[in-house]
């Protein structure tokens, strides 16, 4: 099963519609979506089951059962996937499309695109290739490549700031 989650605050019709179209082209692929109440009011998927809200325990069960996750480029979703040792395909929300207040998700996706287990689709047109790529690679990531700690450069920068005062 592939788990689509778009967060709990705003709809993300562009992502939900793109996943729905991809599922229609891949019969037999099981996807389950959590798309928010407002998202459900905008675009309701036709090719996979979904809910507007999901309890935390059930959410974690979906993450644990998933081959991989599909999400917006929010850090909560990315961290959840990596902590669960699951690859994630992200499509960043865009400020110019009023999907979010600014383009911070584009910057996040660009920064994390080279990290193991994170597959970035810059646009919805790129999403099918990224979904196919993660499916071809399998559902687990090498946890040795994903550190639960900050990079040495970040730690050094913080130390430098603190101790320079």
Give the residue from 2, 20, 11 showing the smallest Cα distance to 70.
Answer: 2
* Average pLDDT along the chain: 86
Helices (H), 13-138: 13-24, 37-42, 56-65, 75-83, 104-112, 127-137
Q: What is the pLDDT of residue 53?
A: 87
In percent, how much of the chain has pLDDT > 70? 88
Q: What residue ranges do the domains of the chain occupy?
A: 2-163
pLDDT digits (tens, 9 = 90+) for 8-17: 778 888 999 9
pLDDT greater at residue 142 or residue 91: 91
Q: What is the pLDDT of residue 104?
A: 79
Residue with tokens 């196919």: 132
Instruction: Please tell me the CATH superfamily of domain 2-163, with its number.
Output: Glycogen Phosphorylase B; (3.40.50.2000)
pLDDT digits (tens, 9 = 90+) for 100-153: 778 778 888 888 888 888 999 999 999 999 999 999 886 556 555 456 667 788
Dihedrals phi, psi of 132, to nearest 5 degrees = -65, -40
Q: Is the pLDDT of residue 94 over 90?
A: no
Give the residue from 13, 7, 5 showing the smallest Cα distance to 99.
Answer: 13
């Amino acid at each position: 099963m592939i788990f689509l989650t778009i967060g709990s605050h705003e709809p993300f019709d562009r992502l939900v519609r793109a996943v729905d179209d991809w599922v229609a082209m891949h019969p037999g692929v099981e996807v389950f979506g959590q798309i928010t109440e407002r998202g459900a009011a905008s675009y309701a998927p036709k090719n996979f089951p979904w809910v507007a809200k999901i309890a935390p325990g059930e959410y974690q069960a979906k993450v644990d059962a998933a081959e991989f996750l599909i999400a917006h480029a929010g850090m909560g979703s990315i961290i959840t996937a990596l902590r669960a040792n699951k690859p994630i395909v992200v499509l960043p929300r865009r400020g110019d499309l009023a999907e979010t207040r600014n383009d911070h998700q584009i910057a996040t996706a660009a920064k994390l695109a080279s990290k193991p287990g994170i597959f970035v689709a810059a646009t919805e047109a790129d999403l099918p290739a990224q979904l196919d790529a993660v499916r071809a690679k399998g559902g687990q990531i090498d946890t040795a490549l994903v550190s639960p700690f900050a990079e040495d450069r970040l730690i050094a920068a913080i130390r430098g700031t603190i101790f320079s005062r």
